[in-house]
Amino acid sequence: MSTNPKESERISISVDRIQDMEFRVKFDKPIYQDLMLDEPPPVGNDRAANPTRLLAAAVGGCLSASLLFSALKLRLNIQGMHANVGVEHTRNEQGRLRIGKIDVEITPTIADPDPHKLQRCLDMFEDYCTVTQSVRKGIDVAVTVKS
């Protein structure tokens, strides 16, 4: 969920190769820790999460935050929240590996839930999820390779 960024705000990160298929991600705010990426064998060494896992984390994290945001707006007493995210791989027509489906199961712990407020929350929270709604619609990705 992303309620803070303005529509025109642009974030910028950098990705640098360390060795083999390992990369370091540097974020645009110095307070954020660097993040390592690696691919699983046979191409990588599996020493860090790969981009597929990061996408799964982004979808699960954004949906959880959106559910919490909606629940708090409706004054539901959220005591805790847990999400499980599963990713299914598939192959496209050219045989290339793709993400075919992402399943997210969120389990909130709500003290004294009001059934009407809870249903209203469930009806609206996904619409607040910037990441999930963007992934569902597809995102225009412009790629330039400089020599």
- The pLDDT score that the predictor gives to residue 142 is 83
Is 65 a member of any domain? yes
pLDDT digits (tens, 9 = 90+) for 4-51: 667 778 899 999 999 999 999 999 999 999 999 999 999 999 999 999
Q: What is the extent of the structural domain holding 123?
A: 50-147
Q: Which residue, 97, 32, 85, is CA-closest to 55?
A: 85
Same domain for 107 and 68: yes
pLDDT digits (tens, 9 = 90+) for 124-144: 999 999 999 999 999 888 888
Between the CA of residue 125 and those of 55, 60, 78, what are the distances in Å?
19, 13, 14
Mean pLDDT of 107-135: 95
Is 2 a member of any domain? no
CA dihedral 41, 46, 52, 57 (to 10 degrees): 160
Phi and psi at residue 66, in whole multiples of 5°?
Answer: -65, -40
pTM of the shown model = 0.90
Distance CA 132, CA 129 (A): 6
- The pLDDT score that the predictor gives to residue 96 is 95
Count structural domains, the chain. Answer: 2
Structure tokens at 13: 């990160």
Is 133 a member of any domain? yes
